[in-house]
């Protein structure tokens, strides 16, 4: 464990030594959803999704008070697997955090390509 610290969210997300693992959804409690990362030193870092939601472009944020469809017949099941990065287009409270996860993954890909 290296005890790495980041001064800002932007510095954290831009760190090339930090790999996005995926979204850990908390059933029926979207404010508990976590974006999971792994640092090169082997440490797993989790960030509450709500702390990063404002980084999403406004058109991707969606509605605030959506119901949880987790585990319902309508649910696509994407939130059952941490590493699943497929988009979900359901009107579900976790779908916004899936969009956030995809947005973070895309930002990290873009930064890697410019370093590359």
- pLDDT per position as a tens digit, 77-87: 999 999 898 88
Average pLDDT estimate for 51-74:
84
pLDDT at 105 over 90: yes
| Comparison of pLDDT for 60 and 100, the residue scoring more | 100
pTM here? 0.88
pLDDT at 1 over 70: no
Q: Rounded to 5 degrees, what angle do the CA atoms 87, 35, 27 make?
A: 75
pLDDT at 116 over 70: no
pLDDT class of 67 with cuts at 50, 70, 90: confident
pLDDT class of 4 with cuts at 50, 70, 90: confident
Two tokens at 55? 């980084």
Please state, rounded to an integer, the average pLDDT across all residues of the chain: 90
The C-alpha atoms of residue 76 and residue 63 are separated, in whole angstroms, by 19
The C-alpha atoms of residue 115 and residue 25 are separated, in whole angstroms, by 31
pLDDT class of 63 with cuts at 50, 70, 90: low
Q: For the chain, which residues make up each domain, given as ranges? A: 9-115
């Amino acid at each position: 464990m290296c005890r790495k610290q980041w001064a800002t969210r932007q510095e954290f997300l831009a760190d090339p030594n930090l790999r996005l693992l995926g979204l850990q959804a908390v059933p029926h409690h979207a404010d508990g959803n976590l974006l999971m990362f792994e640092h090169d030193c082997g440490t797993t870092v989790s960030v509450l999704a709500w702390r990063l939601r404002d980084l999403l472009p406004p058109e991707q944020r969606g509605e605030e008070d959506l119901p949880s469809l987790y585990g319902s017949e309508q649910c696509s099941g994407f939130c059952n697997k941490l590493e699943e990065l497929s988009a979900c287009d359901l009107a579900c409270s976790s779908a916004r955090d899936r969009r956030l996860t995809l947005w973070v993954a895309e930002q990290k890909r873009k930064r890697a390509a410019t370093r590359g």
